[in-house]
Copies of this chain bind each other. A is one copy, B any other.
């Protein structure tokens, strides 16, 4: 059975509750190691009114602090960062086969002096490799060519060579037969009438397929009709040129099931695709476990 380190996320949020509630389910297909200290787990379980399962394996991370449900706090932010770093470390040392991350709070990271925007940036920095962000569920995964950049800067990044490298990187970390690529402009440029970045996309697809000696990538597709009921049947993996192009369809159709996967790294990392949900943390409001369970499943599959 694959070993999976679970970084606990911001303890003032819903992460630890999700971990406790889903434990019986995920232990059927992996051996989870929760990256949280026993004392803090004990504190959280008391506050949540949840038992700690006897096979809930934890590990040392950092010193104890007081959990404050729903609060942005420096201590909780710092702890979530340390839990994440420890999980990465376990994977690097091959003590686990993959890591799954529970949500952190960006503001809390900021308060704790951590200058990263999120998990993915930490990974890219640590491994000196651009992590590829893939979001979705097994029905539809979007691979983001650009992530958190202003929309006005997207066009400039569309270059044949850069796209080509992105395609080759995808093939290195994903085993599948067909990956659709979206166009950038309305109607995918309508033959060059509404923008011409599609020419570069087309060239990069051709070049990548030639190198890979298979017809892996196809497109560019017209973005707005790619997800119609008729067309979506044929989609499973999809390259989106910009953030919202890939995430609007995924979140519109599969909001609760969606997960976040970091590809192109020496370790396997998946994550829930939701935040800390401070508004419902420690209120007995049973957060959805779907995204988390899917994330653990995908981590096992990829490792």
A-side residues, CB < 8 A to B, are: 117, 147-152, 154-156, 184-187, 189-190, 193-197, 223-225, 227-230, 232, 242-245, 247-249, 251-253, 255-256
Nearest neighbor of A144 in chain B, beta-carbon distance: B186
Partner of A252, one of B151, B196, B232, B242: B232
Nearest neighbor of A253 in chain B, beta-carbon distance: B252
Q: List 8 A-B contacts (CB under 8 A).
A: A149-B194, A150-B189, A150-B194, A186-B244, A223-B244, A227-B252, A232-B252, A244-B245
Nearest neighbor of A255 in chain B, beta-carbon distance: B228
Contacts of A224 in B (CB 8 A): 243-244, 247-248, 251
Contacts of A184 in B (CB 8 A): 151
Nearest neighbor of A195 in chain B, beta-carbon distance: B150
Copies of this chain, whole number: 2
| Contact indicator A229/B248 (Cβ below 8 Å) | no
Contacts of A197 in B (CB 8 A): 150-152
Q: How far is the CA of A156 from the CA of B247 in the complex (A)?
A: 23
| Contact indicator A195/B151 (Cβ below 8 Å) | yes
| Contact indicator B253/A186 (Cβ below 8 Å) | no
| Contact indicator A190/B148 (Cβ below 8 Å) | yes
Q: How far is the CA of A6 from the CA of B136 in the complex (A)?
A: 42
Contacts of A195 in B (CB 8 A): 150-152
Nearest neighbor of A222 in chain B, beta-carbon distance: B244
Q: From residue A228, how far is it (CB to closest CB) to chain B in Å?
A: 4
Contacts of A227 in B (CB 8 A): 248, 251-252
Q: A228-B255, A253-B253 are in contact. List 20 more A-B contacts (CB 8 A).
A: A150-B185, A151-B185, A151-B195, A152-B195, A186-B242, A186-B243, A223-B244, A224-B244, A224-B247, A224-B251, A227-B248, A229-B255, A229-B256, A244-B245, A248-B248, A248-B252, A249-B249, A249-B252, A252-B252, A252-B253
